[in-house]
Amino acid sequence: MHIRTATPADAAALAAVEAACFPPAEAATAAEIADRLAHYAGHFWLLEEDDGTVVSFVDGMVTDEPRLRDEMYENAALHNEDGAWQMIFGVNTLPSYRRHGCAGQVLERVIADAKAQGRKGCVLTCKDRLVHYYEKFGFVNEGVSQSTHGGVVWYDMRLSFS
């Protein structure tokens, strides 16, 4: 398996993985993924099999804003390539590939790339049951998020590089 960044041609494969990983109220639609790819394909990291099958991916825009807002999911034009913070919208792994280190491998690449790009750090939101998982990568729980995305409770998590 190898990691690469996305191209607009990956939209259908990414939408399929997204749909397999999140309930409909939380998943990005195929149209939203295509729009994100048009604005920041270089901020989609894909783990794929040698045959090209995408098994895991992480995506998110870059911004100067320190918190992930729900509007960011819906408006890819808010991406600022020179922004300070790498937002992480989704950490997706096909169910049959879970618990094999796939997501961790991609997250480590995202973190390394964000550091190399001079970002202040990475920001994501997650459900309570995943707080401990992200803490293993150095993310700090900043408490309950203001996000109401998908109608569930999220926690703000931040990994600062300084």
* pLDDT value of residue 107: 96
Kindly tell me if the per-residue pLDDT of 148 is higher than 90: no
In the structure, what pLDDT confidence band is assigned to residue 43 with cuts at 50, 70 and 90?
Answer: very high
What is the Cα–Cα distance from 26 to 21, expressed in whole angstroms? 9
Q: What is the pTM of this model?
A: 0.91
Q: Mean per-residue pLDDT for 95-122?
A: 95
Q: Where are the alpha helices (DSSP H) in the chain?
A: 11-21, 30-40, 70-74, 102-116, 131-135
* pLDDT value of residue 103: 93
Kindly tell me if the per-residue pLDDT of 81 is higher than 90: yes
